Amino acid sequence: MDKVALRSIINSTKTLKVLFVEDDDTSREALTQFMSVFFDVIIEAYNGEDGWNKFNDDDFDLVITDINMPKINGLELAAMIREVKPYLPILIVSAHRETSFFLESIKLNVDGYILKPFEMDQFLSVLSKVVHRIDTERELAEYQQNLENMVHEKTKELEHKCLHEYYTDLPNEIMLRDDLMAQEYAYMLLLDISHFSVLNKEYGKDFATHIIIRTARILEKHIHNDAKLYKVESDRFAILVKSTEVKKVNEYCDQIVSFFDMKNVKVDDTELNVTFNIGVDKVRADVSETLINCEYALDKSKELGSRHYEIYSENHAVFVDEKDAIKWLRLTRELIVEEKIVPHFQPIMNTKTGEIYKYEALARGFHNNEIIAPYYFIASAEKLGLSTAITRLMINKSFAFFEDKTVQFSINLTERDLLEGYLIKFLNEKLKQYNITPNRVTFEILENITVAKSSQRITKKLNKLRGMGFKIAVDDFGIENSNFSRLLEIQLDFIKIDGLFIKDLKTNPRNRTITKAIVNLAKTLGIKTVAEYVEDEEIYELIKGCGIDYAQGYHIGKAEEYLI
């Protein structure tokens, strides 16, 4: 081996801590002296037992052990070490050349076998292999540590990005939810920059983003010591405060409003007056409830204009009503998606014969084994844009119900049904599917539809329905400023007089006069009349006296799942 290679081995071995186990004093001293050229730290052990004790007291890079020793021999020591540190390099030193020792050494996976007396070339050959392995393992360990450090740093970076808003680097909504769950704060303030959409349109999105960033820095600089600032969606910030006193929360909101009254937000050379609306609620066990309540309070503050704040209260009627409305929006969607809107049928009587002439199919919801009146879900369906879905359900289920019957029936249509393009095709499909003849079906529309902006399109659609054989009725007639020429264009079959006039016929002569006038008008136009809200025998007799053709109301029968 040349000097360069030898020096390389010595450079690699000098830093290694070696445990050398040899029971022969002379050999131990001689070999220790020899090996000191290669190792700076050599811990000597006098026998196998001493070697095992010293192994357990320290941390070694290499073990060199003789075989024949009292108490614990070298192979036994190697086996014990392998139980604790399977990959620690072990060299066996022995004067024996028996095959059994070599085989046992191989079984123990020792790293080298050095014969006594030491031969330099053999020793260097074995040592170079061990050094190569140790260097490789060190490089691998160093590489792994560097990799772990990189992963750790990247993980920290990603965690930061995950928990902080991109533009402002403030804690984001994820961290807000985590902190709300921790229950370390008492109140949450939801801040919304007033009229931010106007700034967006006037200055552009990039400039508006800089407004948010600059506003964030101002809020961050002046935030209270017991508060924490967050950047949530769009133009909104959130603040959590630890104070449990409502008075202090009010003062804090006042301070925010007052501060921005006097402090403009400067972006480049432009100064803008930024104002907030603020919604406040207590931090509750249910995080979603806290967030939702802040939204309710924020909406309420906006009704008062910019620069206002509102603290949520469970007892405030406005909040109770709004929560109830949200509940019905959710439930309405469920009723429609799960097809839990069902028809109930209210009889309509011929006042001349006293017989049931037809039935009106009225929508009812069915939820948790309870019947839900349309009052609760019709308006919600309109807000959700799902009113036509209810009409489809009512047509499909009513046609299916009357498929094996001969009686006539009525179904209500909305303005949206008449303006969307689905109706004619859908009706043709259902007529064919359930073998219903169009002349059995009356479609009822509200009077206000006849004076809507799209009344000409609606008139055209209604006349097309009538051309198919369907009958047309105007519901709640008498409460809108109807255009009578428009009514003539529609070619109505029935006018249903609004219950507002019918209910008070017994006590209100003026209503009797109006009712008679409507009946006379209808007779002149060849249109049949129907009285709604006929609640008792006296009203029934009064409408007969007014000449009304048909009666509908609790006196005749309630809306039920079956026919009377």
Contact, 447 vs 479, CB < 8 A?
Answer: yes
The pLDDT score that the predictor gives to residue 485 is 57
Q: Per DSSP, which regions of 46-89 are E strands? A: 62-66
Which residues are registered as beta bridge partners of 364? Answer: 342
The pLDDT score that the predictor gives to residue 479 is 63
Torsion 213-215-218-224 (CA) sign:
negative
Q: By C-alpha distance, which of 9, 31, 5 is closest to 115?
A: 31
In angstroms, what CA-CA distances link 113 with 121, 124, 222?
13, 12, 73
Other C-beta atoms closer than 10 Å to the C-beta of 441 total 25
> What's the pLDDT tens digit per position in 266-291?
888 888 889 999 999 999 999 999 99
DSSP string of 222-290?
Answer: H--TTEEEEE-STTEEEEEE----HHHHHHHHHHHHHHHHH--EEETTEEE---EEEEEEE--SSHHHH
Residue 307 CA to residue 260 CA, distance in Å, equals 9
Which residues are registered as beta bridge partners of 270? Answer: 267
The pLDDT score that the predictor gives to residue 387 is 92
The pLDDT score that the predictor gives to residue 182 is 94
- At residue 62's C-alpha, the angle toward residues 56 and 67, to 5°, is 80
DSSP string of 364-393?
Answer: EEEETTEEE-GGGTHHHHHHHT-HHHHHHH
Residue 450: which region, alpha, beta or left (left: phi > 0; alpha: psi -120 to 50)?
Answer: alpha
Residue 564 CA to residue 558 CA, distance in Å, equals 10
The pLDDT score that the predictor gives to residue 96 is 62
Residues 6 or more apart from 496 whose CB is under 8 A from it? 444, 473, 474, 475, 476, 477, 529, 530, 531, 532, 552
| Domains of the chain and any CATH numbers | 3-139 (3.40.50.2300), 173-313 (3.30.70.270), 324-552 (3.20.20.450)
Q: By C-alpha distance, which of 167, 287, 178 is closest to 233?
A: 167
The helix (run of H) or strand (run of E) holding residue 552 is: strand 550-552
Write out residues in the chain with pLDDT < 50, as ranges.
none
Pairing of strands 265-267, 341-350: unpaired
SS3 14: coil
The pLDDT score that the predictor gives to residue 538 is 95
SS3 492: coil
Contact, 421 vs 382, CB < 8 A?
Answer: no
Q: What is the DSSP letter of 454?
A: T
Task: Tell me the longest C-alpha to C-alpha distance in the chain.
Answer: 138
Phi and psi at residue 90, to the nearest 5°: -130, 130
| pLDDT, the chain, mean | 89
- Count, in order, helices (H) and strands (E) of the chain: 21, 21
Phi and psi at residue 423, to the nearest 5°: -60, -50
Q: Which residue has the tokens 């949450």?
A: 188
> What's the pLDDT tens digit per position in 455-471?
788 888 999 999 999 99
> 19-41 burial string, b = 16+ CB within 10 Å, else e?
bbbbbeeebbeebbeebeebbee
Other C-beta atoms closer than 10 Å to the C-beta of 282 total 19
Tokens standing for residue 372: 């839900």
